[in-house]
Structure 1
Amino acid sequence: MTAWTLNDIERAIRSSWGVDTCAPEDQAHWRPDDPAHGQCRATALVVHDLLGGELMMGEVFTGGVRTDLHWWNRSAAGAEVDMTRSRFGPDERVGPGRPVARPQRPGRLQAQYQLLRHRVLARLETGSADGGHAAAA
Structure 2
Amino acid sequence: MTAWTLNDIERAIRSSWGVDTCAPEDLAHWRPDNPARGQAGVTAMVVHDLLGGELMMGEVRAGGVRTDLHWWNRSAAGIEIDLTHEQFGPDELVGPGRPVARPARPGRLHAQYVLLRHRVAIELERGRTRLPERACA
Provide TM-score, normalisation by structure 2: 0.90
SS of 1:93's equivalent in the other structure is strand
Which blocks of at least 5 consecutive residues in structure 1 are unaligned? 128-137
1:85 and 2:100 aligned:
no
Matches within 5 A, 1:1-137: 1-126=1-126
Using CA pairs below 8 Å that are at least 6 residues apart, which structure has the higher relative contact order? 1
Q: Check conservation: 1:106, 1:113, Cα contact below 8 A.
A: no
Which blocks of at least 5 consecutive residues in structure 2 are unaligned? 128-137
Question: Which whole-Å CA distance do the structure 2 matches of 1:105 and 1:19 have between them?
Answer: 24
2:24 alignment partner AA: P
Q: Which contiguous aligned blocks of 4+ residues in structure 1 show a shift greater than 6 angstroms?
A: none
Residue identity over aligned pairs, in percent, reads 82
Give the number of aligned pairs: 127
2:113 alignment partner AA: Y
SS of 2:99's equivalent in the other structure is strand
Question: Which whole-Å CA distance do the structure 2 matches of 1:58 and 1:110 have between them?
Answer: 21
Cα distance per residue 1:57-77 (max 9 Å; x no partner) = 000010111110000000000
The Cα RMSD (Å) is 1.1
Q: Structure 1 residues 86, 106: CA separation in 2 closer, same or farther (over 3 Å shift)?
A: farther
My pick for the range that moved more, 65-74 or 22-31, is 22-31
Shift of 1:27: 1.3
